[in-house]
């Protein structure tokens, strides 16, 4: 398979850094892919070929506003797989919408829909310049969510989250704890409001880690209660 990706950041011009400004920025990723399929039994012969251009994951719009030196708001819209509602291509998602309180680097709280701290890359999986498609692990590839259950490997939604670190000499001990809905979310309007949990369970998870210089390690876990 031969694939070519073109990634570009888009950033709005800023005329200063006051708390009243709304910062709008984003990323998009275009792709061309050539794929050849082969028979599964010897002699292996080409069976099918395919060419395709696409606006693949991800095409994200971010909105950030500083509300106060210790408070700021963030919204993230994501469009997948050449999104077009009329043609039923791809999907449009509200990925994040939260307000964060930052006492300092050691203690932060997020209120609202957020991507939780989990493993080393979950929070930045939709930041194309930081984690390009061509090197991104498959479980972080939400453009494949139509045929791969990516949310079975990584938590995608938290609604309350606290994180930070504690310093012990030259060592930093990271911590994160998040809370969200259980897995039984209503998607049928005939059964009432959609997007809400139909049970009294919670989705709980977190991460503990250690940093020494450039070396970093940690352990993440989730459960439903």
Region 104-112 average pLDDT = 95
Instruction: Compute the mean pLDDT over every residue in the chain, rounded to the nearest whole number.
Output: 86
The pLDDT of residue 57 is 59
Q: What is the pLDDT of residues 19-50, one digit of tens each?
A: 568 999 988 877 788 888 888 888 787 788 88
Q: What is the dihedral of CA 74, 186, 162, 68, to 10 degrees?
A: 30
What is the secondary structure of the chain as a DSSP string? -EEEEEEEEEE---S---TTPEEEEEEEEEEEEEEEEE-SSSS--EEEEEEEEEE-S-EEEEEEEEEETTEEEEEEEEEEEEEETTTTEEEEEEEEEEEEEEEETTEEEEEEEEPPP-TTTGGGTT-TTTS-GGGS-GGG-GGGTTTS-GGGTS---EEEEEEEEEEETTEEEEEEEEEEE-S-B---GGGSSTTSBSSS-EEEEEEEEEEETTEEEEEEEEEE-
Q: What is the pLDDT of residues 123-171, one digit of tens each?
A: 988 887 777 767 778 888 888 888 888 888 899 999 999 999 999 999 9
pLDDT at 12 over 60: no
The pLDDT of residue 145 is 82
The pLDDT of residue 128 is 74
- Per-residue pLDDT band for 210 (boundaries 50, 70, 90) equals very high
- Cα(58)–Cα(225) distance, rounded to whole angstroms? 32
Q: What is the pLDDT of residues 54-82, one digit of tens each?
A: 776 578 899 999 999 999 999 999 998 88
- 24: its two tokens: 């709008």
The pLDDT of residue 37 is 84
Distances (CA, A) of 85 to 91, 117, 164: 8, 31, 40
Instruction: Say if residue 25 is exposed, middle or buried (CB neighbours under 10 Å; 0-12, 13-18, 19+).
Output: middle
The pLDDT of residue 9 is 57
- 31: its two tokens: 């792709």
pLDDT at 2 over 80: no
pLDDT at 94 over 90: yes
Region 205-222 average pLDDT = 95
The pLDDT of residue 219 is 96
Percent of the chain with pLDDT over 90: 51
pLDDT at 216 over 50: yes
pLDDT at 194 over 90: yes
């Amino acid at each position: 398979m031969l694939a070519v990706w073109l990634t570009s950041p888009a950033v709005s011009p800023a005329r200063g850094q006051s708390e009243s400004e709304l910062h709008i920025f984003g990323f998009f990723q275009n792709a061309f892919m050539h794929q050849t399929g082969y028979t599964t039994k010897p002699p292996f012969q080409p069976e099918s070929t395919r060419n395709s251009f696409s606006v693949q994951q991800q095409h994200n719009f971010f909105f950030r506003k500083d509300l106060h030196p210790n408070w700021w708001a963030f919204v993230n819209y994501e469009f997948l797989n050449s999104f077009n509602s009329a043609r039923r291509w791809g999907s449009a998602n509200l990925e994040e919408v939260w307000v964060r309180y930052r006492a300092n680097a050691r203690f932060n709280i997020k209120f609202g829909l957020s991507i939780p701290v989990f493993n080393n890359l979950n929070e930045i999986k939709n930041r194309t310049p930081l984690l390009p498609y061509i090197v991104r692990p498959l479980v972080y590839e939400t453009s494949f969510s139509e045929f791969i259950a990516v949310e079975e490997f990584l938590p995608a939604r938290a609604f309350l989250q606290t994180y930070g670190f504690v310093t012990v000499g030259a060592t930093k001990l990271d911590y994160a704890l998040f809370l969200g809905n259980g897995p039984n979310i209503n998607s049928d309007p005939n059964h009432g409001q959609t997007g809400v949990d139909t049970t009294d369970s919670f989705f709980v998870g977190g991460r503990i880690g250690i940093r020494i210089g450039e070396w970093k390690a940690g352990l993440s876990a989730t459960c439903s209660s």
